[in-house]
Structure 1
Amino acid sequence: MFPLIAVDRRAALRYVALAGTHPRTLFAATTQPQLAHRIVLTATDPAHVSVATAGRLLVPLLDWFRAGDDRCVGTVVDDEQWALFLADAVAPWTWQLGPLNHDWQLTPDHQRQLVALLAQEDATLDRLVQQIDTVRQGLLAHAAGSTALEEFGAYLGMLQQVIVDRRLTDARRAAAGWSMLIGLAGLAGGLIPGGLAVSLVVGVGVGVLGSLHPRGTDLARHDAEFAKEATLTTAAASVAAAVHQQWIANGALPAGFPPPPTPQPGVRHPGLQFRDDLDTWLAHLPGGIDGGMADHVDRMVSTLMNAADAGAAVAR
C-alpha cells in the first residue's frame, strides 16, 4: 500500500494526518522506511500545503522521534536514514521553529525541544546545512509583517547557536555551516519595513559576503564567538545596505550618496569595527547622527541584534 500512497498527494496527506496519533503505524511497522519518509515529504510539500497544515502533520511525528520511540528500536527493519529524513522534512519549515514565531502555536519549550532534536545527530545537521536553498525558500516565503526583522533576528541567533557550537571541531563541516549562516544573514535587508525585492536582497547579501576576508572564514572554524559575531555583523550590514537602497529608490537620498559600510576584512572583532564605521556613516546622513534618518537605521540594526542575542540564549 505504501508505494501507492507515496505517489498520491491527497492519499499521503490523509494518511499522515491519521498517523499523527499513531506514528508507529507509519514508521515502525514498515519494512521500507524510505517509503514512509516519502509519504511524509509528499504530504508536507510546501508547494501544496499551508503552513498550518504542515504543522499539524509534522509536529506529532517530530515529537515521536524526539521521544525516542523510533531510531532503530522496535522497528521491523533498521531505519538507517531517519536522521536525514528529519532534516528533509523540516528544511522548508525551519522558520516556524524560530523563538518568536507562532505559526504552529508551539510553546517556547516545545520549539526548543524540536530544535534540539535537529541538533542531536550530526547527520541531521549536515543534511540541513546542505538544504540551504530549501531553508532559504521557506524563510522568504513565510517571513513577513511588521515584526519580521525582529523574528528573523531571533531565528538567526538560534540557528547560529546550534550550527556553530556543533561544527567547529571539523574544518569542512564548519565551513559549510558558516556559508549557510552568512547566506541567510544576507537576507535580513529584505525584512525591513517596505523591504526590497528578493533579487535586490540577494545582491546585498552577496555584496556583504564578498567583503569578508578568507582569514575571517578560518577564524570562524575555530572560534565560535567570532563566527557568531561575523554572522550577525553580516545581517546588520545587510539591513543598513537595504535601507540605503530604499532611500536611494524613493529619493530620500541622492543617487550618489555613499553606501553604508560592510564588515572589514580580517578584523578580529567585526561587530565592533562595523559599529564604529556605521556611526561614521550615520553622521553624514541628513540630520547627522542624532537625526531621524540615523535613528531609523540604528533602530533597525538594534532590533535585529537584540533579537539575535535572545534567540541564541534560547538555543543554549
Structure 2
Amino acid sequence: MHTVSIKNSIWLSFLLLFVTVGVFATGNAEKPVVNGNSLSVLVYIPGVLAGSPPYISMAEGANEFASEHQGVTVKVYEAGFNQAEWEEQLTSLVATGQYDIVLTTNPSLSDISQSIAKKFPNQKFVITDAQLAGNPQIRTYLYNQYEQSYFLGYLAGLVTTSSLPYANSDLKIGFIAAQEFPLLNKQIIPGFLDGAHRVNPNITLDFRVIGNWYDANKAAELALSMIEAKVDVFMTLSGGADQGLFKIAGEKGAYIVFPNTNSYGAVPKMVVGCGIMEQKKLTKEILGDVLQGKVAYGTATTVGIQEGYIDFISADPAYTENLPQSIRTKFDAFMADFHAGKIVYTVPSL
C-alpha cells in the first residue's frame, strides 16, 4: 500500500507539472471564440470616427449590442489615417489575447487580417465592406456599392438634365474621393456613371481625388474648380473632408447625392438624395451570430438592396422639399423597379 501511494504521488506531481507548464506556455496566446454568453470584441476603426458615417454606425452598433447582452464587452480603437501603421497597431492589439473577435471594416483590412492571422491562428476576424473567401479565420461581408452608386447616379442624371435653378446644360456630374482603391475604381465610380447614363448617355463625369480623408480645404478647392468647369451635381466619398464640398456647394450652388447615411441636413436645399448602408444593422447581426457560434468563417457574402442592407432614404422631408414632383416621380418609379428586381445591370468584378 505504501509503495502504491508513492507511485501515485509521483504521477500526480508529474501531472500537475505538465498542466502548469502548459498554462504558462500559452501566455498571451489569442483566445478562441467560445459559444456562450461571454464575448470580448475589438472594433478596429481604420481611420477616425468623426466624419465617417459607416465607422460611426459600426461603433454604435457594437456598443448597442454590448448594452443589450450581459457579458459582452467592446473596445473601439481608432487607428488614425496613416494606413502604413494599421498592421502593426492591429497586431499589437491581437497579441494581448484580450479579444475573442476583431470586427472591422474597409477593403484593405482583408490583406492585413490575413497577415496577422498567420501569427495568431486562433484569432477570428469579421470584416464588412470587404471581400475575401477561403481563410478559415476570416468572414467578410461586401456591401453592393455598385447598386447604391447606380441609383444615386440615376438621380444625379435626372438632376443634371433638369431645369432646377443650379442645373446647367453641360450634362456634367462630379465625384470627389479621398483616395483611390479597388472598390471605388471598379464598382463605385462605374456604378455612378452607369446610373447617370441610364438617363442620358451623353452625361460625363469629372472625377477628382483629395489624397486623404481629412483635408476639407483641398476638397473645397476641388469642388470650386469643378463647379467652374460646369459640374452641377456631386457625389462624394471623402470622410471628414466632405465638409469642404458642403461649404462650396452651399455658397456657389451645386447639388449633392450622398452615400451611406442621411446627410440631407448637411447643406440645406442642396443635398437632393441620400443612400443608406445598414452598417449598424449588420454589425448587430454579426455579433449575434458570433455569440451563438454561427459565423461561417472562410466565406464571403455580398449584401445589397435585395438583402435589405442598401437602400435610398426617401422618408426624410428634405427629399420632398428639395426635389420637384416631376423628378421624384421618375426616381421613385425607378427605385420601385430596383427593389422588384426589374433593373438589369452587371456588377463589375473586383
> TM-score when scaled to structure 2?
0.27
Structure label with greater radius of gyration = 2
> TM-score when scaled to structure 1?
0.29
Larger relative contact order (C-alpha < 8 A, sep ≥ 6)?
2
